[in-house]
Structure formats: structure tokens, C-alpha cells
């Protein structure tokens, strides 16, 4: 990584995204892939089809990933993004296989994963799915989140690189009727293997089907420095590096 904290903060504040090469070394990337390939593929957090393999709550499902990430440049990157500290709030593994027809339409990431439903001002709508409860929080909560997409394969237009609308995160939640005009001139975000794409949840983004013989495997990690109000908690909340156990003496 060769981007200063002020430059990174400026890019996220104005454009809503940034691409950083070399967040992971080749050895770290290979170690992450080995840990994922060795994991079982059963349970409600695992989804497999011809066009997609996904693991929700992947850091909980595959604990072997955490020490690899903790030893990488990711903690340094998080310290630059959140000088006062932060916690993981969501983790997903996406594998878009070669020649996948999986198309992701234009959208913003408006929902957060929580542990329960509660009557909270400004929170809603709520959804309940097999993987758990989600809710749209007040806009300041979304604005605090930073998504870090760690790319385990090189990604370009042929195998489903994200396309984005720079600056769209500054508009807040966007009505679907505005999408055709806003998405007329998107920007493609190719990322090398071992690189990372950083983005704000309110940034408009999408991806096309794959026309390549190469997979697009990504660890999608969301971080926040905020605590949720009493009555609800981030469902996947954890520190990237757990605190050591206290001595019993």
C-alpha cells in the first residue's frame, strides 16, 4: 500500500471508493484460499449454485482466516481508516466462477446484520432470512461503515469487476427511479490479486456476468466504529485481532 491516510480518507469522502494494490502478499492470498477450500460447505451460511458460491459470516465459519488477516497489512489499513478503533460487522466470501451468469444489478448496501429485532427510532424496514435479521439503520450508521473487498483473484471487466457511480454515496438512499440517469456513465474498478477495493455502503455499484475462464473470489469485510443503540447489536461484531484471555492468577 502506498496511499496516505489523508489521501484515502479524501477519496472515500469524495468518490466513495478507492482501489489499493498489495494489501495481501501472494503467500497470504494463497493461505486464505487454502483455508477456504479446506472448509466444510454445509449449513445455512453456505450457498452454492452454478453461478455463485457464497459463505456468510465467513470469519466465524472459517476461524483459520482470522490469524492470516491479522498478520497482513489489513490492521494497518484499518488503523488509518478508523484511528479510534473499529470492529468487524459483516463478512462474506463470494466466488463468481468462470463464465458465471450471475449479474448484480445497481444497488446500495442499505441493510446491516443485527442479532434481534427491536423498536428503535429510525431503524427499518426489517427483514428476516435464513441467515438472520437485517435492518436499514439511520443514514449516519451507514456513513460510518467502510467495506473492504479483498481480492483473491485478479478482477477486470471480463470476470465481474464492480462498476460504480463515483460520488453517489453523498446522495443518501437513492430511489430506483433515479438509477437510469445516475448509472449512465459508470466507472469500472479492476483490482489485482492481493489488492483491495474500499467502498462506502451508499455507493451505487453493480457487476456484470463473467465472460472469462477465471474465477472472481473476494472476501467482503465491513467495519464500523459505532456501537448500536441499547436493544440491538451487530450480529457479527468482533475485533479483527481478539484480545488475549486474562490470566486466572
Which pLDDT tens digits describe the chain residue by residue (249 residues)? 556 778 999 999 999 999 999 999 999 999 999 999 888 777 667 666 655 578 899 999 999 999 999 999 999 999 999 999 999 999 999 887 766 766 889 999 999 999 999 999 999 999 998 789 999 999 999 999 999 999 999 999 888 899 999 999 999 999 999 999 999 999 999 999 999 999 999 999 999 887 877 888 999 999 999 999 999 999 999 998 654 444 554
Residue 240 pLDDT: 82
Query: What's the whole-model pTM score?
Result: 0.92
Q: Distance between CA 67 and CA 71 in Å, rounded?
A: 6
- What are the chain's domains? 5-106+144-224 (2.60.120.620)
**CB contact set of 203 (below 8 Å; sequence gap of 6+):** 16, 17, 108, 164, 165, 168, 169
Amino acid at each position: 500500500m502506498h496511499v496516505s491516510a489523508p489521501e484515502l480518507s479524501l477519496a472515500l469522502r469524495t468518490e466513495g471508493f478507492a482501489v489499493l494494490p498489495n494489501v495481501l502478499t501472494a503467500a497470504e492470498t494463497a493461505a486464505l484460499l487454502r483455508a477456504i477450500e479446506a472448509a466444510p460447505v454445509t449449513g445455512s451460511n453456505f450457498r452454492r449454485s452454478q453461478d455463485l458460491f457464497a459463505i456468510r459470516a465467513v470469519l466465524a465459519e472459517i476461524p483459520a482466516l482470522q490469524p492470516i488477516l491479522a498478520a497482513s497489512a489489513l490492521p494497518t489499513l484499518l488503523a488509518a481508516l478508523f484511528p479510534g478503533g473499529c470492529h468487524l460487522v459483516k463478512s462474506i466470501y463470494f466466488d463468481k466462477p468462470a463464465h458465471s451468469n450471475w449479474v448484480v444489478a445497481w444497488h446500495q448496501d442499505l441493510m446491516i446484520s443485527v442479532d434481534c429485532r427491536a423498536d428503535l427510532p429510525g431503524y427499518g424496514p426489517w427483514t428476516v432470512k435464513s441467515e438472520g435479521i437485517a435492518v436499514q439503520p439511520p443514514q449516519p450508521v451507514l456513513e460510518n461503515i467502510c467495506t473492504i473487498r479483498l481480492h483473491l483473484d485478479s478482477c477486470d471487466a471480463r470476470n465481474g469487476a464492480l462498476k460504480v457511480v463515483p460520488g453517489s454515496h453523498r446522495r443518501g438512499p437513492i430511489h430506483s427511479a433515479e438509477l437510469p440517469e445516475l448509472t449512465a456513465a459508470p466507472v469500472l474498478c479492476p483490482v489485482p490479486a492481493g489488492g483491495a477495493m474500499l467502498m462506502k455502503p451508499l455507493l451505487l455499484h453493480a457487476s456484470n456476468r463473467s465472460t472469462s475462464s477465471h474465477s472472481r473470489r473476494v472476501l467482503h469485510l465491513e467495519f464500523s466504529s459505532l456501537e448500536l443503540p441499547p436493544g440491538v447489536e451487530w450480529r457479527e461484531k468482533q475485533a479483527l485481532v481478539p484480545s488475549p484471555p486474562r490470566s486466572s492468577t
